[in-house]
C-alpha cells in the first residue's frame, strides 16, 4: 500500500501507523485547492481505509484556536478579549468566529448586524471598533439555521472564514465551537492551527471535558499553548473581596498533571459579563491587567516557536 501511495503522492506523503490503522500526512504546500483535493482523493483511492491528513500551505500567519470541552465556560468572551489584548501588544490580529452553534463575536466585538463583502469570492473581514477585524459564521447563516448544517457545509464555511482577505494580519484567533465535532476536525486537519488555547472553569466536570478537547489537538500534533481558567473565584462588586466557591488551584494542578502550561485565571465578575454583553470588551479598558497578562504569555509562546 505504501508503494501505491508513493506512486500517486511521491514525497508529499508521509506514512505512519496509528495503532492498527494507517495514517497518511500529505504536504499540500504550493498546490491550488483543486489540486489539493485531487491529491487527497488519489491517496484515499490508493490506500482505502487509511486516515489522510492534508496539511495546508504554510504562511507566516499564526492561527490560534480557542477551544473548550463544553459550552458556556466563557470561551467566546476569552477569545474576544485575548484578541484585543494581543492587538494592544502590537500584533495584527483578526478574529474568526467559527462557533457555528452560537456565533457571539459580532456582539462581543461591537459589530452586530454587519455583513462581509466578497471580492473575487474571498470574504473581506468587517472592521470592529477594537482594531480586530472579524469574520463570523453568524454573518454567513441565518440565526438558528446552522444547527441543520452537515459536515461538508460547515467545512466549506470554515474555509471561507479562515481563507478570507486577512491582508496584513499576522495572527488569527479562532473562536471554536464547544466540544469535538466537524468544525474541530476540519480545523485541525485542513487549517493546522499554530497552537490551541483551552478554556475551562474550575469545576471538575468542565476539566474532564477540557481533557477531551485537549486530546483532539494533541492527536493531530497541534501544540497546546496552555489552559486558561475562567470564572475562577468570584469577585464581589460591592466589597471587592475574592471567594472561591469551587476551590482554588484545581485547573492549575490539572494543567500540570496534563503536562500543559497554565496561562492564568479570569475571575467571575459581574463587570466582565455586563461589559462583554454590551460589546465593550474589558480588555479594551486602559486599566486591564487580566487579559494583558494572558496575551503576554500567548505572545511569548508565539515569539518562541
Residues making contact with ligand ATP (CB under 6 A): 68, 71-77, 99, 102, 104, 178, 230-231, 266, 268-269, 272-273, 276-277
Cα-based angle 124, 113, 188 (whole degrees, multiple of 5): 50
Minimal distance in Å, beta carbon 117 to ligand ATP? 26
Measured from each CB, the residue nearest to ligand ATP is 74
Cα-based angle 286, 289, 294 (whole degrees, multiple of 5): 125
Q: Locate all alpha helices (DSSP H) within 149-203, ordered by sequence.
A: 151-162, 182-186
Of 24 and 82, the one with the shorter C-beta distance to ligand ATP is: 82
- DSSP class of residue 191? I
What are φ and ψ of residue 63, in 5° steps? -120, 115
What are φ and ψ of residue 97, in 5° steps? -95, 95
Minimal distance in Å, beta carbon 54 to ligand ATP? 28
Of 152 and 237, the one with the shorter C-beta distance to ligand ATP is: 237
Those residues whose C-beta lies under 8 Å from the C-beta of residue 29, and which sit 6 or more positions away, are: 55, 57, 58
Those residues whose C-beta lies under 8 Å from the C-beta of residue 141, and which sit 6 or more positions away, are: 100, 149, 157
Minimal distance in Å, beta carbon 153 to ligand ATP? 19
Extract the annotated binding site for ATP. Answer: 69-76
Of 47 and 79, the one with the shorter C-beta distance to ligand ATP is: 79
Minimal distance in Å, beta carbon 38 to ligand ATP? 36
Of 133 and 178, the one with the shorter C-beta distance to ligand ATP is: 178
Of 128 and 276, the one with the shorter C-beta distance to ligand ATP is: 276
C-alpha cell at 83: 484578541
Minimal distance in Å, beta carbon 108 to ligand ATP? 7
Amino acid at each position: 500500500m505504501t508503494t501505491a501511495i508513493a506512486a500517486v503522492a511521491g514525497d508529499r506523503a508521509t506514512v505512519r501507523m496509528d495503532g492498527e490503522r494507517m495514517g497518511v500526512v500529505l504536504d499540500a504546500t504550493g498546490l491550488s485547492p483543486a489540486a489539493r483535493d485531487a491529491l487527497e482523493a488519489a491517496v484515499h483511492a490508493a490506500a482505502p481505509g487509511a486516515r489522510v491528513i492534508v496539511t495546508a500551505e504554510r504562511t507566516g500567519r499564526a492561527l490560534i484556536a480557542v477551544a473548550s470541552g463544553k459550552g458556556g465556560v466563557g470561551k467566546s468572551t476569552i477569545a474576544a478579549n485575548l484578541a484585543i489584548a494581543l492587538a494592544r501588544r502590537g500584533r495584527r490580529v483578526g478574529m474568526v468566529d467559527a462557533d457555528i452553534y452560537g456565533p457571539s463575536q459580532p456582539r462581543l466585538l461591537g459589530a452586530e448586524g454587519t455583513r462581509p463583502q466578497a471580492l473575487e469570492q474571498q470574504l473581506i473581514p468587517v472592521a470592529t471598533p477594537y482594531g480586530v477585524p472579524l469574520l463570523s459564521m453568524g454573518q454567513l447563516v441565518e440565526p438558528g439555521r446552522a444547527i441543520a448544517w452537515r459536515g461538508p457545509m460547515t467545512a466549506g464555511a470554515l474555509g471561507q472564514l479562515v481563507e478570507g482577505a486577512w491582508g496584513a494580519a499576522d495572527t488569527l484567533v479562532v473562536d471554536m465551537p464547544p466540544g469535538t465535532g466537524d468544525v474541530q476536525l476540519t480545523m485541525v486537519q485542513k487549517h493546522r492551527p499554530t497552537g490551541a488555547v483551552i478554556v475551562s472553569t474550575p469545576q471538575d466536570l468542565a476539566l474532564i471535558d477540557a481533557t477531551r478537547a485537549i486530546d483532539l489537538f494533541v492527536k493531530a500534533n497541534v501544540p497546546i499553548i496552555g489552559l486558561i481558567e475562567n470564572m475562577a473565584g468570584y469577585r464581589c462588586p460591592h466589597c471587592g473581596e475574592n471567594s472561591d466557591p469551587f476551590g482554588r488551584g484545581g485547573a492549575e494542578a490539572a494543567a500540570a498533571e496534563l503536562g500543559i502550561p497554565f496561562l492564568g485565571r479570569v475571575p467571575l465578575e459581574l463587570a466582565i459579563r455586563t461589559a462583554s454583553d454590551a460589546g465593550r470588551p474589558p480588555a479594551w479598558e486602559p486599566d486591564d491587567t487580566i487579559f494583558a497578562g494572558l496575551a503576554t504569555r500567548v505572545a511569548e509562546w508565539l515569539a518562541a516557536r
